[in-house]
Amino acid sequence: MGIKKKAILEITNAIQIHLREVDRIMKMKETFERGKLIAQSCNKLDMAHDMTLHLELGYSLNKIGKDKRVLSP
């Protein structure tokens, strides 16, 4: 399997995990704890994205950080 195909499969898997987790969390009663769980799930997805860019596609951590700063409002 090629590197890019592997990277796509890994990030797709991370997205699926995130969506299932958010779906589970959204069924919970609206509380501060639920908000924390949503934030934790989003952070995990962000980390999976960064790790895929870095380890599978060879992006430097500096480039990933700069790209995030450009996208931030």
The pLDDT tens digits for 9-50 are 888 888 999 999 999 999 999 999 999 999 999 898 888 888
- pLDDT for the residue numbered 61: 87
Total number of domains in the chain: 1
Query: For residue 4, which of 53, 72, 64, 67 has the smallest C-alpha distance?
Result: 53
Structure tokens, 44: 């995990």
Considering only CA atoms, which of 18, 19, 14, 1 is closest in space to residue 53?
14
Q: Which domain holds residue 22?
A: 3-71
